[in-house]
Amino acid sequence: MVDAAAVVPRRVLATVAAMDLLRRLRGLHGPLMLHQSGGCCDGSAPMCYPAGEFVVGGHDVLLGLLDLRLLVDELPDTPPAPDDTAPVWISGPQFAAWQHTQLVLDAVPGRGSGFSLESPEGLRFLSRGRVFEHAELLALAGTETLTGADWERGARPTTPAQPQVVGRAADACPVPVRGTPKNSV
């Protein structure tokens, strides 16, 4: 029997570009948090706030804690200090729709929402998604999600055994290329 804890995938990964932007924003604003609300327009983009400035709802789901000390394919030697993490939250209804996907946080050229910290940086956060494979879904079925209410009671996630930083979004999920015919390889 395979140890499910060893194969449970992370629900959120981040690209080098996203991690670099998060580190820069942390230097400017202190500890951070991200929230994926599922609203319309800019509300459907991941929003970055100073930690505690966005009220996490009791039914919001924690996708993971991004360890801002890590680079591509690294695993932590020690637990991160709270200021070295950026919790990534998603609204409960959006999690219900996206629970079968791994969110890949990326940073791309453009202007972020006026409420998100990256807005004046010339970059914006972008969520990309990769559908979990069948074995990954089975492993995730044996885990419980951590909600905002759980967090308020002091619950914290365990540290997954897989790296959280990928070089580019395409390293974690297919990224459509403009102008490429559907049938081309």
Is pLDDT above 70 for 178?
no
Antiparallel, parallel or unpaired: β 12-15 and 165-166: parallel
Biggest CA–CA distance in the chain, Å, is: 51
- For the chain, what is the mean pLDDT? 87
The pLDDT of 66-85, averaged and rounded, is: 93
Is pLDDT above 70 for 71?
yes
71-75, 114-118, 122-126: least confident range: 114-118
Spatial distance between the Cα atoms of 148 and 58, rounded to a whole number of angstroms: 4
List the structure tokens of 34.
């991200």
The pLDDT of 48-76, averaged and rounded, is: 94
Of the two residues 139 and 185, the one the predictor is more confident about is 139
The pLDDT of 96-106, averaged and rounded, is: 93
